[in-house]
Amino acid sequence: MCTAIGLKTSNNYFFGRTLDVCSDSGEETVISPRSYPLQFRAAETLFCHRAIIGTAQVVGGVPLYYDAMNEDGLCMAGLNFPQNAVYHPVAKNKINLAPFEIILYILGKCKTLDEARAELKNINVADISFSEGLPHTPLHWLIGDGTGEIAVESVGEGLKVYDDPAGVLTNSPTFEKQLFNLKNYAHLSPYNPRSAFTDKLDLAPYSRGMGALGLPGDWSSPSRFVRAAFVKFNLVPERGDFGTGDFFNLLGSVQVPNGCVEGATGFQYTVYSCCCDTKNLTYIRKTYSGNSSESAITAQNREGDKIFICK
């Protein structure tokens, strides 16, 4: 379970996600500087690339990014995509990347969302696991910058790339079905409703917020997709003082409390949420317990040949 959101304001672009699992895996805030070699199992090493910051589990010197932003403000997150993700054999005349390599490759090479779109045309998500101890996770991805967002899904037919006008991604079912499902909630509104039931009865609202009656409140993937989109489009983001605190409030609308969602090894909950502030190249991560950390891509950490672990 996870939710990712991209949001353009009048003077900034914010991108972030919740990670909803049963426990943390030792993930940390990590910076991959420009000259830190990015090695891939079946693709050429990137010896020089854009600096990247995000949350990753570092295994054997390899940053396995869950989400990240590069120094040009391009952002990306990987989310669980059970029963739908399909990874393919290594293909000739394609850039073959393992699922855990996609974020590193796209953010290392691409400056803009348009460049990412173009690069994805040549990519095959290959059936290459990290190791026997770290088997595949079924994933799909949200990529965004100030121009918009795209959803990327590797399915049986191959790699599909969708324009995402909602700027939201959750989990299964497929993105097309999630977006279509929004049609069932077209009547929702932040304003007090007027009765269309009959003019012969007094059905004036008795409470504020009744325009959103029917907004799903559970933590299923379709419900979080609808709720995140509804809150996002009613946050008045064009106001000039919209900031990271507002973005975390948006993520809070889909945060999962511990004890409410059964998982495979316990209860799933929002282990962390994060916000990429692309104007200031600042990455903020908050844990379930309320601890927060803030790190940035600065001039001094855009160079170097070692991963920076940000505490």
Token couple for 61: 């010197």
Residue 26: its pLDDT value, please? 86
Structure tokens at 11: 């003077």
Q: What is the pLDDT of residues 4-14, one digit of tens each?
A: 999 999 899 99
- Which residue is associated with the tokens 């993700």? 85
- The region that residue 206 occupies, defined by phi over 0 for left and psi between -120 and 50 for alpha, beta otherwise, is alpha
Residue 255 has pLDDT above 80, yes or no: yes
- Spatial neighbors of 20 by CB under 8 A, at least 6 apart, are 1, 2, 3, 219, 256, 261, 268, 269, 270, 271
Structure tokens at 305: 């040949």
**Three-state DSSP state, 158:** strand
pLDDT digits (tens, 9 = 90+) for 54-88: 999 999 889 999 999 999 999 999 999 999 999 99
Question: Cα(107)–Cα(125) distance, rounded to whole angstroms?
Answer: 16
Sign of CA dihedral 138, 177, 228, 268: negative
Give the integer Cα–Cα distance in Å for 201 and 192.
17
Question: 């993105």: which residue's tokens?
Answer: 175
**pLDDT at position 235 over 90:** no
So which residues are the catalytic ones?
2
Dist CA 66 CA 273 (whole Å): 11
Q: What is the pLDDT of residues 158-196, one digit of tens each?
A: 999 999 999 999 999 999 999 999 999 999 999 998 888
Q: Where are the domains of the chain?
A: 2-310
pLDDT of residue 311: 67
Q: Is the dihedral of CA 233, 141, 136, 68 positive or negative?
A: negative
Q: Which of 125, 35, 112 minimizes the C-alpha distance to 75? A: 112
Distances in Å between the Cα of 242 and the Cα atoms of 43, 229, 239 are 41, 17, 6
* Average of per-residue pLDDT values in the chain: 94
pTM reported for the whole predicted model: 0.95
Q: Which CATH architecture has domain 2-310?
A: 4-Layer Sandwich (3.60)
